[in-house]
Structure 1
């Protein structure tokens, strides 16, 4: 695994944490959760910008957004009591299929 993919995994992980904190900010009215959330997004974008030095931007962004989205749906279901509906499952499946398709296309 190249260092670019390490940066990409860091970007994804930090984005997931930042998004998970979003609800606790209560509309950005609580200082510390807001600072943690915004800092997480900033760190994630810096790591993503480093990742695209060695990973095609389309592939990097597809992985970043798809894995983040899938993880947030799972976190919402497990920790926030949000329902997992057939529509959500279909949507996540389509996102994953799109990312797989992009990756099969190669880095041209």
Structure 2
């Protein structure tokens, strides 16, 4: 009888820990934002330079540089950085930058 009670208590505790883990995971993704910039890059070295530097900006979690389209897509934590800071970081590398407006 005592073994059953202990087993039930352990199962309840395990289920509570799993549900709290799932809630924490949601909160971490809640503040993520994505922005795409049009960047005046012209060669593979430009692409590598942007990838090397912007990936280490505070709050950046993912990025993709598309040389043929001349765009840089950045996923970042909004509580650690913002669009303006990211734009200035790319401009600091010597490129003209503007927020990408999707074609209609």
User: Could you say which TM-score interval applies, normalised by the shorter chain?
Assistant: under 0.3
Q: Which TM-score applies when normalising by structure 1?
A: 0.25
Higher strand share: 2
Q: Which TM-score applies when normalising by structure 2?
A: 0.25
Look at both structures and tell me which one has the larger radius of gyration over its CA atoms.
2
